[in-house]
Amino acid sequence: MIARALLPDLPAYNALEELAKQLASASLQGLFEADPQRAETFTASAAGLHLDYSKQLLTRGARAALLQLAEQAGVQQGIADLFDGVRVNNTEGRPALHTLLRASSAGGQEDRFREVVTARSRMQTMAERLHRGEHTGYSGTTITDVVNIGIGGSDLGPRLVTQALKPFHGRVRCHYVSNVDPADLQDTLATLNPAATAFIICSKSFRTEETLANGLAARDWMLHAGATTTELDRHFLAVTTNLQAARDFGIPEANCLPMWDWVGGRYSVWSAVGLSCAIAVGWERFSEFLAGAEAMDQHFRHSEPGENLPLLMSLLEIWYCNFFGAGNHVVLPYDHSLQRLPDFLQQLTMESNGKRVSNSGELLHYTTAPVLWGSAGTMGQHSFHQLLHQGTLLCPVDFILPLTTHTSEQQQHRILVANCLAQSRTLMVGRSLEQARQALLRRGLDDEAAATLASHLVMPGNRPSSVITMASLNPGTLGALLALYEHRTYCSGLLWGINSFDQWGVELGKEISTDILGRLTDGIGADDTMDAATEHLIERWRDATR
C-alpha cells in the first residue's frame, strides 16, 4: 500500500474549508430556489436503491470539490485494490475480500472463489435441510428453532438480516444470543424445546469468551435435557476459521462451515455466518440477498464517481465530520424490521474507522469515524428528535424508507411514510421566530404571551439529511443496502488514510478482563499493578457476593 498525503494535505482540502464556511450559513431552501434542478441532480440510484441527497448542505461546486478530494486520496485505486485482493488490511497483512462471498464469478481470485463455492454449497445443503424441516434432533423430533450464538460480527449481521426479512420466513424460528450475561441465553432457552432446537456456534476465532461461555451453557442445557454426547452432533453446528477449537468443543468437522481470515467479522454476514438467515428464509431468498449485494459491488466498482452511491455517502460523512465538526451521524430506518440496522452499522463504521493513526502509524490530528446512532422511525420522533430539531449539535441524518409494506395495513404505512418525509423536510425548513409567533397567535395566545414563548418554538432548520428509498425491502434491496454502507465505510477509511479492517482497540479490554476474572474467581490476577479504583470496585463485588 502506497503512503499518501493525509486528508488536510490534499490539494482540495483548503478550498473545501472555504466552501464549508460559506455553506454553514446558507439556506437549504435558498439552494433549492437557486437551482431548479436540485431535486433531480442531487440524487443517484443503484441496485434498487435511490439516494436523495438534495437536502444536504452542498452545491454543485462543493460536490465537485469533494469528488476532487476523493480523486486526490486515491479512492479509485483503493476500490480496485479491494476487489483485486490487495492486502488493504495492512496491519494484519490480509486482503478484505467480503465482496467475493457474494460474487457470481472469481474475478481473478480463482483459488479463494473455489473455496467460497464449496462452502456455499455445503451451507446450502445444511440450510435447506433445516429450512424444509428435514433435520431431526436426538429424539427424532423435527428441529423448529435455531439459536445462533455469536457476538459482534457473528451476531449483528445475521440478527439484522433475519429480522429484516421476516415476511420471507419459513417454519424455523431463529434466535440470537450474544451477551455473556446468563440472562440472555436463559431467556431464549426458556421458551424452547431442547429436542427441537439446534445451535450454531458462530465465531470466526472460536476464542471469544462470551460465545464459548454461552456455547458451553447451551451444551449443558441439551445434556441436562437427556441428549447423549454423541446425539449433540444433531444439535450443534459451527461457523469458524478455527476447526481445531470447534472440534475440541465437541463439534465434528462435518458440522463446521468455514470462514476465512480475509473476511472481517463485521463484513461476514455473506458467508456461513449468515447460515441462520438462510435457514430462516430458505436458500433462494438468501441467494437474492447475495445478488443484491453483488449488484451494489458492481456499481461501486464501475460507476462514475459522481454517480457512485457509496462514494457520495462517504464524501458526505467526511464533509460533516471534517469540515463542519459533526462528530455523529444518525441513521433512521422507517421500517420496523430494520430496527437493528443502527446496531449493525455501529460495529461496521465504528469498529472499522474508529482509528487514531494512519495506515503507516502516523498520529492523526483530525476526526475519523463519527458516533453512529439512531433507531427505527417513528419511535425516535417521541424521544431524541427534539435534539435533532432544536439541539445545539449538528446531527446529519440518513432516512431509510421502503416505499411499500409487506403488511396489508396500507393506511398505517402511509402514516409511516408521511412521518419520514415530514421529518426530513422539517429538518430542512425549520420555523422562524415570526412563524412561531404566528403559530402561537393562531393557538389563541395574546401578543405578549406569543412573543414570550416564540423563541422556544423556533427551529433553525438547514439541518442536513438524505433519504434512501427502495420500492420494497426484500432480500435483494437489503443486500444492496448493507453493501452500500460497507463500501461507504471503506471509502471513508481511504479518505481518512486509515485501515478499516483491523480492530486492535478491542484487545486490551479483553486481556484486562481475563486478569480481573482471575481475581474474582480465585483471588489471583496476573497484573499486580491494578489501579486503586478497580481494586476498590473488586472489593465492593467481594462484599456483595460473600
Which residues here bind ligand F6P, judged by CB under 6 A? 151-154, 203-205, 208, 211, 265-266, 351, 503, 506
Q: How far is the CB of 149 from ligand F6P (least distance, A)?
A: 10
Whole-number Å distance between alpha carbons of 57 and 25: 9
Pick between residue 208 and residue 337 the one whose CB is nearest to ligand F6P.
208
Whether 382 is catalytic is yes
Residue 19 or 149 with smaller CB distance to ligand F6P:
149
Q: For ligand F6P, which is the closer residue by CB, 200 or 450? A: 200
Kindly name the residue from 351, 355, 385, 413 that is annotated as catalytic.
Answer: 351
Minimum distance from residue 349 beta carbon to ligand F6P (Å) = 13
Q: Are 301 and 132 in contact (CB under 8 A)?
A: no
Q: How far is the CB of 505 from ligand F6P (least distance, A)?
A: 9
Shortest reach from residue 49's CB to ligand F6P, in Å: 25
**Signed CA dihedral, 243, 249, 251, 252: sign only:** positive
In the bound complex, what is the minimum distance in angstroms from residue 483's beta carbon to ligand F6P? 18
In the complex, least distance from residue 56 CB atom to ligand F6P, rounded to whole angstroms: 31
Residue 255, C-beta contacts closer than 8 angstroms, at least 6 positions apart:
233, 236, 237, 238
**What is the closest distance, in whole angstroms, from the C-beta atom of residue 114 to ligand F6P in the complex?**
24
Q: Active-site residue 329, yes or no?
A: no
Q: Which is nearer to ligand F6P, 477 or 503 (CB)?
A: 503
Question: How far is residue 74's CA from residue 83's CA, in Å, rounded to a whole number?
Answer: 15
Cell numbers of 137, please? 434432533
Q: Which is nearer to ligand F6P, 212 or 313 (CB)?
A: 212
CB nearer to ligand F6P: give 67 or 238: 238
CA–CA separation, 479 and 373 (whole Å):
21
State the catalytic residue, choosing from 302, 382, 456, 536.
Answer: 382
Chain centroid to CA 386: how far? 24
Has 351 been annotated as catalytic?
Answer: yes
Closest CA to 20 of 55, 54, 63, 49: 63
Contact 342, 331 (CB under 8 A): yes
Instruction: Tell me the C-alpha distance between 249 and 124, whole Å.
Output: 24
* Active-site residue (options: 510, 511, 535, 539): 510
- Beta carbon nearer to ligand F6P, 351 or 486: 351
Contact 144, 185 (CB under 8 A): no
* C-alpha gyration radius of the chain: 25
The pairing of strands 49-52 and 43-46 is: antiparallel
Q: With b meaning 16 or more CB within 10 Å and e meaning fewer, what string describes 504-517?
A: eeeeeeeeeeeebe
Q: How many CA atoms lie within 13 A of 243 on its CB side?
A: 9
**Distance between CA 176 and CA 156 in Å, rounded?**
9
Q: Minimum distance from CB of 74 to ligand F6P (Å)?
A: 26
Cis previous bond, 521, omega within 30:
no
Burial class (CB in 10 A: 0-12, 13-18, 19+), 150: buried
CB closer to ligand F6P, 356 vs 542: 356
Residue in 269, 238, 236 with CA at minimum distance from that of residue 143: 236
Which residues are part of the catalytic machinery? Answer: 351, 382, 510
